[in-house]
Structure 1
């Protein structure tokens, strides 16, 4: 038995001291064939330091072996040694049989460095050198897909299908195409591809993605059926509970939506969206107390989510709980958030509390962003009218009429005001 084989056996027996002793012997006694096999096994086992030691030794014997340089580049990448990785990759010349592999390693590394355009250039160069290689098509498709260039990604995924590659690296090509077409808005083509993906392999992901496309098409019957299949196949698939609850809301079956939400909470108590939908369902049923509790739970889980805060504040405004609204708005504004809706809701609350000066101050803060929002401008005009600011009222009422020329009530207000 070679020392290389004995080293691997010692590693498997967790005798690392003995493994290192065998490594020293392997470097001096084993054949090159044994050492190449040792490199592959050590790398696969994650023993990068030892792999590097063997590769470095072999390079002293075969200094022009570009495959070894590539291995050192990959080890450097694993270790986060960016400069060293590129030094080894640059040593692989365009005339080398390993050049295309070097391009693929470079492309992969540039992608991890968040440089997708450079990665794309490397892959296109590889494609020009080896136009029929499916690995390159897949790498290009995945790069373009993950960077949001879905139309370009579709071209390469379809190349793979034309070459009868239904799956690559465990990824369904039909599934990827379905998702890509869905994102660009071609929902019917997306459904066709996702149905193919489900036919090849009925996975939770494929069923959910197909259900989501039907949801986008507002075909809530088909969407619900598919989401139920996902839930039955994998009850811990937490995303499905949110969309199944949304389906029931769209079908005005709020009680069923709440049942699904409670079922989903068994598997995931931290998703704020579940609680937000619970609040929406509770409001539809007229249960404002339950809605408030759901909103508060959603806020606890996602305190930076402005939408949840605003929905809760709107509920409190309807209940004329102005002090609670102001406390909520102040809490959000103290974080540095300056969304105009926060100022608008604060203005409503101060107006309700008859603190008119503060109300106007907050209307003014919201004004720049909301001056083209009809409902805001009308409300502000009414506020100014009640405050006795005739000039301000006429200015904002006229602005409002430009935004909504069919509101005869406001037109009449303006006429009446201008008579005096």
Structure 2
């Protein structure tokens, strides 16, 4: 048995120290044929430094072997050494039998540089040279998919499906097609392809993606059915718990939503979305203390999420916890956040705490944005009346009545003020 083969066996047995020793022996004693095979296997396994050592040794005996140079280019791309990668790619001539491979590596290079159009040009050039090559078709599909050009990506994936290709580099073509169709809003086609992917290989990812499409269709029972299958295969698949919780909330089953949140938090205590949904479920169930706890955890993880902060404050307002509400507001307000709902809630809290100057300041700020919000205008009018700003009250109340002309209480307020 060659040292190369022994080395691969050692890697597969997780005997890495032994594998390093065998690498030196392979370079010193194995045939070039064995070493070329070792390069391919090591690269596929992700042992880039070891691959590089073997390639550099082989290049001393085969300095014109362009396949080896392209391997070094691929390693350089993986390691983030783009300039080195470009230099190796440029060493391959157009009349070389490795030129198409060089174009493929070059496409990877330009994609890493976030130049997808240049990458596409390289792949189109490769396809012109080898129009029937499925690897190039797949590479074009992947590039377009990654660039958000889903309709064009679908064309390439479907060409491969028609020619009986099911999978490339561990990627399910049915799965890709399902996700691409979902991205362009064709949910029925997405379901068809994702079902095919699940039938061929029932993985957690395929089941989750299929569940997501049903979720997009608002078929929450079907979505949850697939999400539960994901849990059965992999209970630590943390993304599934947020969708299960949301699905049960949509089905008005807050108790089961809360169960999913608590189960998900066992695996992932850094998931702000889970805490937020737990808070929503607890709030509906009337457990204000649990809702507060969940909101506190969510905001600690995502302190800039204004929507979540506003939802938390609503719970605090119900409990008359205005001082605590201000403690939540103030860091966000001090950061310069310009949110009219935030200004309004801050005004309410300051008013309840009898900090009337601050309340007036935030009512005025909110009024810039909420001049068409009847609820705000009535609240603002009440504040202005209590604050003694008669002119401000009348102007605001009249604006409110333009939106709610049947509110006789406010009409009486204005009538009373006019008599003074």
Q: What's the secondary structure of 1:80's corresponding residue? A: coil
| Distance 1:396-1:102 versus aligned 2 partners, 3 A rule | farther
Partner of 2:27: 23
Contact 1:7/1:20 (CA < 8 Å) preserved in 2?
A: no
Partner of 1:409: 407
| Distance 1:183-1:229 versus aligned 2 partners, 3 A rule | same
1:154 deviation in Å?
1.9
Contact 1:76/1:85 (CA < 8 Å) preserved in 2?
A: yes
Q: For 1:59 and 1:10, how far apart are their aligned partners in 2?
A: 23
| 2:48 corresponds to 1:50 | no
Partner of 1:250: 250
Partner of 1:269: 269
| 2:141 corresponds to 1:141 | yes
Provide the aligned C-alpha RMSD in A.
3.2
Q: For 2:357 and 2:338, how far apart are their aligned partners in 1?
A: 20
The alignment covers a number of residue pairs equal to 408
Pairwise mapping of residues 284-299 of structure 1 onto structure 2 (< 5 A)?
284-299=284-299
Partner of 1:317: 317
CA offsets 1:153-194 (integer angstroms, 9 cap, x no match) = 222222222222222222222222222222222222222222
Contact 1:398/1:414 (CA < 8 Å) preserved in 2?
A: no
Partner of 1:14: 18
Contact 1:73/1:89 (CA < 8 Å) preserved in 2?
A: yes
1:345 deviation in Å?
1.7
Contact 1:261/1:275 (CA < 8 Å) preserved in 2?
A: yes
Q: What's the secondary structure of 2:263's corresponding residue? A: helix
Of 260-269 and 102-111, the range deviating more from structure 2: 260-269
Q: For 1:183 and 1:407, how far apart are their aligned partners in 2?
A: 45
Pairwise mapping of residues 215-234 of structure 1 onto structure 2 (< 5 A)?
215-234=215-234
CA offsets 1:44-102 (integer angstroms, 9 cap, x no match) = 54314412422431343xx3x32232123223324432212101212223332222211
CA offsets 1:266-315 (integer angstroms, 9 cap, x no match) = 33333222222121111112221221122122223333433322211121
Q: For 1:392 and 1:418, how far apart are their aligned partners in 2?
A: 12
| Distance 1:49-1:217 versus aligned 2 partners, 3 A rule | closer
1:342 deviation in Å?
2.8
| Distance 1:415-1:16 versus aligned 2 partners, 3 A rule | closer
| 2:346 corresponds to 1:343 | no
Pairwise mapping of residues 92-107 of structure 1 onto structure 2 (< 5 A)?
92-107=92-107
Q: What's the secondary structure of 2:53's corresponding residue? A: helix
| Distance 1:88-1:295 versus aligned 2 partners, 3 A rule | same
CA offsets 1:380-416 (integer angstroms, 9 cap, x no match) = 34433443445444554565567xx455328947985
Structure 1 length-normalised TM: 0.84
Pairwise mapping of residues 381-396 of structure 1 onto structure 2 (< 5 A)?
381-393=381-393, 395-396=395-396
1:324 deviation in Å?
0.9
Partner of 2:70: 70
| 2:86 corresponds to 1:82 | no
